[in-house]
Amino acid sequence: MVSMNQDRAPILRLEDISKSFSGVTVLDGINLNLYGHEVLALMGENGAGKSTLMNILSGNLMRDSGKIVVNGNDVDISSPRQASELGIAIIHQELNVVPTMTVAQNLALGNEPKGRSGLVDKKQMREDALRKLSVIGTDINPDVPLGELGTGEQQMVEIAKAVASRAKILILDEPTASLSRGESERLFDIVEKLRGEGTGLIYISHRMEEVWRLADRVTVLRDGHTVATSDIADVDQSEIVAKMVGRKVEKLYDHDERSAGEVVLDVRDLRLSQDSPSVSLQVRAGEVVGVSGLVGAGRTEIARCVIGADKRFSGEVSLKGRNVAFQSPKMAIQHGVAYLPEDRKVQSIFPVRSVEDNISVSTLERFESFGMLRKHKIREAVGKLMQKVNIASRLQQTPIVNLSGGNQQKAIFARWMMRNPDVLILDEPTRGVDVGAKREIYELIGEQAAQGKAILMISSDLPEVLGISDRVLVIRQGSVVANLESKKTTEEEIMGYATGVLQPQRLGPEHDEIHDNDEVTFNE
């Protein structure tokens, strides 16, 4: 993709955009041009200023200084409605949906079709929803409450809404973070189609392979500054990473050889419902077991059932040889099983509470003395953990919502490190996290495994699964269909089992046997 913008006027121009919060500068003189028929990748570590910049463009924040020019006109964007009127749409990384409303209602929100009576025309709204969903190639039922859909399907609804707006400037913030490979491919087709129709797209992603596949140019932010803008053909990935972090990042996946110990977590014939297939798996001390599969395959549902967040229909869960029946996640935590959910904003953090409170919340009873909390001891213990996970000590009393996504995730890791569980179940542990924080999280996972923790890691990032795990369990339609040794398998083989192209392995109830798959059988 060769830049051809020299003779064209940009459809969006940002000049010297600055923004501060409580005296702290988060954007300092940002400059950016976006052209029609272009995908501009915007990259940078969490905390670089990308989200603040996008919130200014979408009307959720006002800039302190600088100029915004849309189609040659100086503009002030004071609200999301005004952004929409200017032809700007954004798909946020954190879903902006109403879970209790139906898919059709969410798609029409703020622009509901009215009948002659002045009331909402529900039939027309449903027909409009079907049309919008068909444009992006999904068959989601428009009549179901959005909250009943998985995260990936909710994201597809958001994408359908943005595409239907006919915006000429479309901002996509980590759009594939919750999507399956198939859904991601559909999104890529949509991006290329919109570019061909003249739309200018700002594509925010930490996934290098996506950027190099889609982008024409790339702009890098670091610490609130624009540090580089280049044609994608003129740079390589290592240069971009170095510009993002201001230093050379060593190999992402670099774990030492691990020897698995005794079985710690043993799940046998677990059924989520009467009609669901049974699931059996084991995780040993000092072992990282990756769980792969398409969105909707049942990976998260299995994890939630194990920890007691959802009821199981039948089956057994054993911890260090002892049969347990967790009635709630709290009970699981008390027995040494910790769970890091896929949606940290909704399920992990207490947004307005401090970093200290968020880290210590699951371990407060250890700091009680005669019914009183020893706050100085909490502060001391949290401070040491923050240093361990590389969160600046000055942030200890800061509301966690003000931290970058990477620091929020590391704070949740620190919470469980303080708890010191026997089993860690991690669901998409690096979703929406920049490359520097990813490396740090991988190191934390490796350290926990080296200390003898049994780790079950659900991830849609196949390079991550292969790079961090010792074994990979592939889930398809609620069943474990393959148990693979990470060093001897490939992304293609994992996807073969996940999609049903490869026939399921014959697995015993404990999956002790590792399959090299020298011979594989393909379904017709």
Convert the pLDDT of each residue in 466-492 to its tens digit.
Answer: 999 999 999 988 889 999 999 999 888
Band (520; pLDDT cuts 50, 70, 90) = very low
Checking if the pLDDT of 516 tops 80, the result is no
Q: Is 483 inside a domain boundary?
A: yes
pLDDT of residue 255: 67
Q: Name the pTM for this structure.
A: 0.62
Give the mean model confidence (pLDDT) for residues 112-125: 89
77 shares its domain with 143: yes
Note whether 445 and 522 are same-domain residues: yes
Question: Residue 135 corresponds to which tokens in the numbers above?
Answer: 């444009």
pLDDT above 90 for 451:
yes
pLDDT of residue 506: 76
Structure tokens belonging to residue 517: 């798959």
Between 49-58, 286-295, 507-516, the lowest mean confidence (pLDDT) is in: 507-516
Q: What is the pLDDT of residue 495?
A: 82
Give the model's pLDDT for residue 68: 96
Across all residues in the chain, what is the average pLDDT? Answer: 86
Per-residue model confidence (pLDDT) at position 75: 94
Q: Same domain, yes or no, for 124 and 189?
A: yes
For residue 2, being part of any structural domain is answered with no
What CATH number has the domain bearing residue 519? Answer: 3.40.50.300
> Would residue 395 count as lying in a domain?
yes
| Residue-wise pLDDT tens digits, 22-70 | 677 889 999 999 999 999 999 887 668 888 898 899 998 999 999 999 9
Q: Is the pLDDT score of 176 beyond 60? A: yes
**249: pLDDT strictly greater than 80:** no
- At 247, the pLDDT band (50, 70, 90 cuts) reads low
Three-class DSSP category at 108: helix
Mean pLDDT for the stretch of residues 223-231: 91
Average pLDDT score over residue span 453-465: 91
Contact 301, 289 (CB under 8 A): no
Together in a domain, 129 and 200: yes
Query: Is the pLDDT reported for residue 146 higher than 80?
Result: yes
Instruction: With respect to residue 205, please indicate whether it lies within any of the assigned structural domains.
Output: yes
**Cα distances (angstroms) measured from residue 91 to each of 58, 156, 174, 176:** 10, 10, 9, 11
Structure confidence at residue 245 as a pLDDT band (50, 70, 90):
low
Q: Which domain holds residue 370?
A: 354-402+410-419
pLDDT at 515: 47
Residue 194 placed within a domain: yes
pLDDT at 2 over 50: no
Q: Output DSSP code: residue 505.
A: P
Using DSSP, state whether 403 is helix, strand or coil.
coil
pLDDT (0 to 100) of residue 410: 92
3-state secondary structure of 220: strand
pLDDT at residue number 419: 92
Q: How much of the chain, in percent, has pLDDT values that exceed 90?
A: 46
Does 271 share its domain with 198?
Answer: no
**Under 8 Å between Cβ of 418 and 368:** no
pLDDT of residue 523 exceeding 50, the answer is no
Same structural domain, 170 and 48: yes
pLDDT of residue 307: 92
Q: Inter-axis angle of helices 151-164 and 181-196, to 10 degrees?
A: 10
User: Do residues 198 and 123 share a domain?
Assistant: yes
| Portion of the chain with pLDDT greater than 70, in percent | 92
Q: Which run of H or of E encompasses 129?
A: helix 122-135
Residue 48 is predicted with a pLDDT of 80
Tell which residue, 36, 42, 32, 38, has the closest CA to residue 11: 36
Retrieve residue 276's tokens.
């669901």
Q: Specify whether the CB–CB gap between 338 and 423 falls below 8 A.
A: yes
What is the spatial distance between Cα 129 and Cα 108, in angstroms, rounded to a whole number? 8
Q: State whether 322 and 397 are in the same domain.
A: no
Q: Is the pLDDT of residue 196 over 80?
A: yes
Residue 516 one-letter amino acid: D
pLDDT band at 77 (very low <50, low <70, confident <90, very high): very high
Please, which pLDDT band fits residue 248 given cuts at 50, 70 and 90? low
User: Are 191 and 238 in the same domain?
Assistant: yes
Does 426 have pLDDT greater than 70?
yes
Residue 300, CB-side half-sphere exposure with 13 Å CA sphere: 18
**Residue 273 pLDDT > 50, yes or no?**
yes
Average pLDDT over residues 73-82: 92
Q: Which of 62-71, 324-333, 433-442 has the lowest mean pLDDT?
A: 433-442
pLDDT band at 521 (very low <50, low <70, confident <90, very high): very low
Complete DSSP assignment for 364-384: GGGGEETTEE-HHHHHHHHHH
> What Å distances lie between residue 26 and 21, 43, 224, 247, 399, CA to CA?
7, 15, 5, 20, 17
| Spatial contact of 280 and 259, defined as CB atoms under 8 Å apart | no
Residues 276 and 289 in one domain: yes
Least confident of 176-190, 315-329, 370-384: 176-190
349 is a domain residue: no
- Domains: count for the chain: 3
Q: Domain end: 219, 245, 271, which one? A: 245
Q: What is the mean pLDDT of residues 364-383?
A: 87
Q: What is the C-alpha R_g of the chain?
A: 24
Residue that wins the pLDDT comparison between 152 and 127:
127
Q: What is the pLDDT of residue 240?
A: 84
Would you say residue 448 lies in a domain?
yes
- Res 517: pLDDT: 44
Q: Are residues 164 and 289 in the same domain?
A: no
Does 177 lie in the same domain as 63?
A: yes
Q: What is the pLDDT of residue 136?
A: 81
Q: Which of 245, 264, 298 is the last residue of a domain?
A: 245
Is position 255 within any domain? yes
The residue among 245, 275, 309 that closes a domain is 245
